[in-house]
Structure 1
Amino acid sequence: MGKVLVAYFSASGVTRRIAREVAEAVGADLFEIEPKQPYTRADLNWQNKSSRSSIEMADAACRPALATPVPDVSGYDAILLGFPIWWYVEPRIVDTFIEQAGLAGKTVIPFATSGGSGIGDAERNLASCYPEVSWKRGALLNGDNAAAWAHGAVA
């Protein structure tokens, strides 16, 4: 498919491990979507309605600041976008990345990690919120299928 970027957000390290496997499998560049204010364990407590992640996810317009500027994506043929599933969709910081990267017309293939949710709601949400992006079918990658999926995704 040409030049590929794997951009990912990982709150606990799980998605980071998968993203690295995906990037290595297809020889892609790697960019970590990092929050300007790192998430603490308390911030990630989804059972606490006052936690940072709960507050962010309750506000569809929330766009957490990034620690580093997004890369210039103009030279990439495809972007594999990885994230953990939060409240059945992508975390708001992923929306920050999408909006700052200017992905209109780009081929973007999402992949996600989750302890129990599928990727379907996130795919529908992304396509609805960002119709100018050329979304391809993504995958939930929780096991040893990351490299095989990546080869098929960019074939």
Structure 2
Amino acid sequence: MHKVSSILFSGMMFLSVAACGNGTADTGASSAPAAKTAPQKEHKVLVAYYSYSGNTQAIAKQIAQLTGGDLFEIQTVQTYPASYNDLIDQAKKEINAGYKPELKNKVTDISKYDVVFIGSPNWWGTFAPAVGSFIAQTDLKGKTVAPFFTHGGGGMQHCESDMRGQLAGSTVAKGITFSGRSSGAPQEALEKWVNSVIK
């Protein structure tokens, strides 16, 4: 496989929430076509992501294409509000309460993957609650986990460190974050980071 980056106080986080994506639902893990230049390697890759407005999803698809990995969209049973103000209010409450929403789906056989990329928007300085639910219900021990994030101006903040705290028993690669945009991440920077994960 081809080897292949909260308002801090008030306004910054609002931008971060808007940068997150939740595109068309995948019904479980689905194979993405490998990039034409991608040599086949030993690793079996899963790219799991939660996306609200499509930004995180766009990067997840790029990673799947670079690695030949399977895509898995993390989906909540209850949908988040369409209203921007209602969304940021709910996100803040869930994060402050440590709430883990119920998910619609789970990976059928996580044991076949040895590298798992996990993507999330930056919500209130950390990763989205749905991603916390995914980590809690998925056995990632012994796997290499590579976190990636989108943001609307807040940057990394506590996203990576908070995720590391929930991944005991996993080898956690250095995370990366990109400013949210539905067109995805800059290809060269993304490839360089993926190369550092899949050695």
TM-score of the pair, normalised by structure 2: 0.69
Q: Is the 8 A contact 2:135 2:166 kept in 1?
A: no
2:71 to 26, 30, 35: 30
* 1:71 matched residue in structure 2: 108
Cα distance in 1 for residues equivalent to 2:101 and 2:77: 8
Deviation of 1:117 after TM superposition, in Å, equals 2.1
Structure 1 segments (4+ residues) deviating >4 Å: none
Q: Deviations over 1:100-145 (max 9, x none)?
A: 1111222101001111122252111122233222211111133313
Cα distance in 2 for residues equivalent to 1:137 and 1:71: 27
CA root-mean-square deviation: 1.8
Greater mean alpha carbon deviation, residues 31-40 or residues 124-133: 124-133
* 1:138 matched residue in structure 2: 175
1:96 to 126, 133, 139: 133
1:127 to 164, 183, 189: 164
Deviation of 1:38 after TM superposition, in Å, equals 1.6
Q: Is the 8 A contact 1:70 1:97 kept in 2?
A: no
TM-score of the pair, normalised by structure 1: 0.87
2:56 to 15, 20, 36: 15
Higher relative contact order, structure no. (Cα contacts within 8 Å, ≥ 6 residues apart): 2
* 1:87 matched residue in structure 2: 124
Greater mean alpha carbon deviation, residues 138-147 or residues 97-106: 138-147
2:152 to 101, 109, 115: 115
Structure 2, gaps ≥5 residues long = 1-41, 180-184
* 2:23 matched residue in structure 1: none
* Residue identity matched to 1:107: T
Q: How many residues align?
A: 150
* 2:196 matched residue in structure 1: 152
